[in-house]
Amino acid sequence: MPTKAIRGIAASPGIAIGPILRYEAAKLVANQHYTSDIPHELLHLEEALTQARQEIHGFYEQAKQTIGTQEGAIFEAHEAFLNDPALLEQVHTAIQQQSSSAAFAWQEGIERYANQLRLLHDEYLAARATDLEDVGQRVLRILQGGQEQALRLTEPTIIVATDLTPSETVRFDTQMVCAFCTATGTPTSHAAILAKALGIPAITGLGSDLAQLADGLQVIVDGNTGEILLAPDAETLERYRLHAQIQTQKQRIALEASHQPAFTLDGKHVEIVANINSPDQVAEALTYGAEGVGLLRTEFLFLERATAPTEEEQFGIYRAILTGMHQQPVVVRTFDIGGDKPAPYMPVAEEMNPFLGVRGIRLALTQKELLQTQLRALLRAGVGQQLRIMFPMVSSSEEIDVLREHLMEARKTLEERQIAAAANVQIGIMIEVPAAALMADVLAEQVDFFSIGTNDLTQYTLAADRTNEAIAPFADALHPAVLRLIDSVCKAAHARQRWVGLCGELGGDPLALPVLLGLGLDELSMAPKAIPLCKQQVRLYSQEQAHEIAQQALKKRNAAEVRAYLKACSHTIGDH
Ligand code: PEP
Ligand code: MG
């Protein structure tokens, strides 16, 4: 009898085998209770907030040690919630004017704030609502005099939960937890990000299938495919054990060779570079052998704050990244705000379809001063460095004309102020809108390079919202429709001697590598940890072999056929 399997969203790669432990943190609730001693309640709240700050600071220090500053910063954001003036004012008012107990007032304040975030129907903000509730429960526990419950695990265990908060994720004993599986959440929820940073396989978005994962059931979790095999037979278990061992071995070998450039068997160099969001990730990118940065998502410098970063602030950050990368190329994308990444100080009227609305350069072009500030900061930071500037969400040639005028204006302002600006900056655009892909021959005349954003190109081509877990199977970047667009973009660019990179999640997927190589991509940009294995993959193929694989993939009828074909190819090449 074949082993039964259920499928969720692959959120962190790797294979784990073990028994399930259902983990559901009991949700604390405060009942309304009126106080006659308002100063006492205010003091009680203040003391609880102080203790919560200390606890969270402890997590921050612990996370910094075990998984790095970047991921640890999640807990800095938790601390910021505790100091949020609007939230604190609401809670104080409820205590002072309604004589609410501190616990009830706090609970109400958190619920209201979290609901506001969820009502915006945005994956990123919904994940922040979970963070906020995590902080809310911590303070409530302290106010109610409870102790933090630690889960004691005695054997390697697969944790199954409806959802996991960041502080739960980081508190688990990583020697004993071998995978996380959740009903909700997407690959961008913080628990998934932490799982990736901890190197623990994770599957999210299991929905009601979670009910099939009973306590003690033996399962295989495949974080690469999102599949969970229930009560596998001895032969399946053996196969996966071997697979997991080979994966670990391959990772080790790949890491040893990760500082060498990646050449195909017949000598084509493919630039393997990193996707990063902040200077903290430069060290990680270098550790894993990045030959540069293929995508610096600058919008992360603009989010979760009340005002935009100043020119000086941005200059400092860009300069630190450029110099930190030791003269290697750095592609900086101008802020891609809107869609799933709104900023409170860049208001956009309510939109039915934010992904089809005012986002990326559409928004930037309405915020002339912010764009000018960023371009000036970039031109200053790029002096003597290999800076490349890239614009997101471009859909027409007119936009490129206007963006080039903006760049000239930023240069002119610096000249007038007698401030040095970088010369020879390559200018590129993201190809993430199908219209841009189809018009690539025209757009290539206006820029130095393209970088294909398959995350958005896939959602727009297949009409499948990238943040909607219910339609995740439709949004497969290996769909031949997406591959055909990538193919025509590469041809159009190369016919005009422009280089083409790819910086969506597909770029770091080892299964996709031969196709991307065969379609002629010159650069692949990915999460730093994915670099060593992808470099190894490049070394397995000649350009001719990869070209043949790509041609076959382009002819397939759907994504499933492409995947099956690529799996068969990688078996032949001896990679699996
Ligand atoms: C993409 O769309 O593929 C991309 C890299 O940009 P982002 O994921 O930031 O939208
Ligand atoms: Mg994008």
Average pLDDT score over residue span 158-181: 85
Report how far ligand 2's centroid is from the alpha carbon of 47 (Å). 43
Measure Cα distances from 350 to 154, 339, 340, 343, 500 in Å. 50, 11, 13, 13, 35
Q: Tell me whether residue 242 is in a domain.
A: no
Q: Tell me whether residue 60 is in a domain.
A: yes
As to burial, measured by CB atoms within 10 angstroms (0-12 exposed, 13-18 middle, 19+ buried), residue 262 is buried
Residues 390 and 475 in one domain: yes
* CA–CA dist 334, 425 (Å, integer): 14
Q: Give catalytic residue positions.
A: 190, 503
- State pLDDT tens for residues 363-422: 999 999 999 999 999 999 999 999 999 999 999 999 999 999 999 999 999 999 999 999
Average pLDDT score over residue span 146-152: 73
Q: What integer best gives the mean pLDDT of the chain?
A: 90
Give the per-residue pLDDT at 283. 93
Predicted confidence band of residue 470 (pLDDT cuts 50, 70, 90)? confident
Predicted confidence band of residue 58 (pLDDT cuts 50, 70, 90)? confident
Give the per-residue pLDDT at 576. 45
- State pLDDT tens for residues 416-453: 999 999 999 999 999 999 999 999 999 999 999 999 99
Q: Tell me whether residue 345 is in a domain.
A: yes
Domain boundary (188, 208, 237) is at 237
Domain boundary (143, 172, 198) is at 143
Q: Tell me whether residue 526 is in a domain.
A: yes
Q: Which of 60-69, 173-182, 363-372, 564-573 has the lowest mean pLDDT?
A: 60-69
Residues 265 and 158 in one domain: no
Give the per-residue pLDDT at 69. 66
CATH code of the domain containing 78: 1.10.274.10
Predicted confidence band of residue 497 (pLDDT cuts 50, 70, 90)? very high
Residues 172 and 317 in one domain: no
Q: Any idea what DSSP says for residue 154?
A: S
- Ligand 1 atom index nearest CA of 295: 5
Establish how many alpha carbons lie within 13 A of residue 465's alpha carbon, considering only the half-sphere containing its beta carbon: 16
Residues 166 and 290 in one domain: no
Residues 259 and 346 in one domain: yes
Q: Which ligand is nearest to the CA of 525?
A: 1
Range(s) of the domain holding residue 215 = 5-23+151-237
Predicted confidence band of residue 126 (pLDDT cuts 50, 70, 90)? confident
Q: Which ligand is nearest to the CA of 451?
A: 1
Report how far ligand 1's centroid is from the alpha carbon of 454 (Å). 7
pTM: 0.74
Q: Any idea what DSSP says for residue 392?
A: S
Q: Tell me which residue has its CA closest to atom 8 in ligand 1.
A: 455
Residues 469 and 552 in one domain: yes
Burial readout 293-306 (b: 16 or more C-beta within 10 A, e: otherwise): bbbbbbbebbbeee
Report how far ligand 1's centroid is from the alpha carbon of 337 (Å). 11
Measure Cα distances from 282 to 3, 69, 244, 277, 442 in Å. 43, 11, 29, 9, 35
* CA–CA dist 544, 533 (Å, integer): 21
Predicted confidence band of residue 1 (pLDDT cuts 50, 70, 90)? low
CATH code of the domain containing 231: 3.50.30.10
- Ligand 1 atom index nearest CA of 452: 3
Average pLDDT score over residue span 138-150: 83
Predicted confidence band of residue 575 (pLDDT cuts 50, 70, 90)? low
